[in-house]
Amino acid sequence: MKVLGNIIWLIFGGLECALGYFSASVALMVTIVGIPFGIETLKLGLLSLWPFGAKITPTGKPQGCIRIPLNIIWFIFGGFFTWIMHIFFGVLLCITIVGIPWGKQHFKLAGLALHPFGHKVDINF
């Protein structure tokens, strides 16, 4: 069932969302300073390619104090707007009964878009 949900997701906007994240990741990785943010954007892109069956888990590794400032910078320069976009589409899809599973996936993406540093994405095919 998750394969069918992922195929429908890709056809109706998931592929476009993933391509947007991947192009943003390339643009961020052009600069040396943007490489950590580009890696996190790649995580969002991979999750938006195959969201059904994917799990977001906090990393057990202590990353020191760098995770907090990076999440703050992420939140200020785009994370908040990305979060708003996924919340908007999640609510829009949850208005209909048929769109609830896809709305939940947008809420999953919104959670990662708010603070991606310190989380990993496990995609199960």
Top-confidence residue, 27 or 125: 27
- Axis-axis angle for helices 15-29, 35-49 (nearest 10): 170
pLDDT at 78 over 80: yes
pLDDT tens digit sequence for 92-107: 999 998 999 999 999 9
